[in-house]
Structures are given as structure tokens and as C-alpha cells.
Amino acid sequence: MNQPPQPSSLKEQMGNILEEARMVLPGVQALFGFQTVAVFNQRFDELAAAAKAAHVVALLSVVVAIGLVMMPAAWHRMVEPHQVSATTVSLASRMICCALFPLAVGVALDIYVVLLVASDSAALSISLAVLTLLLLLGLWFLIPSSWRSRKKRGLRRS
């Protein structure tokens, strides 16, 4: 038989949020490192202006994602170092969720640039970049939102 979920304390919730941030951050930072190094590659100079611009936007998007992912730890350390409030938990959760959008944009734009270099096909690069963006937004936003709304509807019927 399914047990109903037990509410967790604010301290447990904050611990979970910080753990999620610790899991996401190394990947985002590695992506940033690869993006930064790319401009020093000889082939980068051969890219069309649009591809260079896409790379810059991707780089800036990842910087925004890094800032949003790291913000909860900084907030907690500076604002409430010896306690955890519902405000901090809510803010931290929102910041990590907000980081996913610029991360998805950055990854999709990087896919565009990499595939453009690899294939010399703008149509293929754009198509797969759009598919990448849709996939990530679907996995990170659409599916969870759909499940959350189903769960809320189910609770109202009970």
C-alpha cells in the first residue's frame, strides 16, 4: 500500500535544495569551461558572425544559470546562516528552477554551433538546436508541471 508523503522540515528541504545545486553546478561549470576555451580554437575564427553571436549568447546564458544555481547557497550563508526559513527554501527552489531555462538555451545554442562546424549545414544545426531546446524544456518544465497539476487535481477530488 502507498504511504502518503510525509512533510519534511525546512532544514531537510534546504538540505535537498543545496544538494541539487551541488549536483547541477559541476556540469554547468564544465560547460562554461568548454565554452570559454572554444574561442581560442583556430576554427572559431572561421565561424560566421551569426554562429559567433550564438556562442556568445550561449556563454552568457550559462553564466546566468551559474549565478542562479549558486545564489541559494550565498543567500543562506549571508542572510540566514544559523537558521532556515520558508522564505529561503522557497527562494532557493525558485532560483534553481529559474536556472534551468538559461541553461537549456545555452546548451541548445552550443548544439547549433557545434553541429554547424561539424556538418556545415545551417538547416540541420538549427533543427537539432530547436529539438534540443524543446527536449530540455519538456523534460525540465512541461512534464513536471503536468504531473504537478495532475497531483493538485487529484487532491481536490479527494
pLDDT in tens, 70-120: 888 888 889 888 888 888 889 989 999 999 999 999 999 999 999 999 999
pLDDT in tens, 3-49: 666 667 888 888 888 888 888 888 888 888 888 888 888 888 889 99
Q: Where are the domains of the chain?
A: 10-157
pLDDT at 155 over 80: no
Q: What is the pLDDT of residue 4?
A: 60
pLDDT at 1 over 60: no
**157 compared with 104, residue with greater pLDDT:** 104
Contacts of 116 (CB under 8 A, 6+ apart): 47, 48, 51, 122, 125
pLDDT at 158 over 60: no
The C-alpha cell at 151 is 497531483
Would the CA dihedral through 31, 35, 38, 43 be positive or negative?
A: positive
What radius of gyration do the chain's Cα atoms show?
19
Burial of 126 (0-12, 13-18, 19+ CB in 10 A): middle
Q: What is the mean pLDDT of residues 117-131?
A: 95
Would the CA dihedral through 38, 42, 44, 45 be positive or negative?
A: positive
CB 129 within 8 A of CB 108: yes
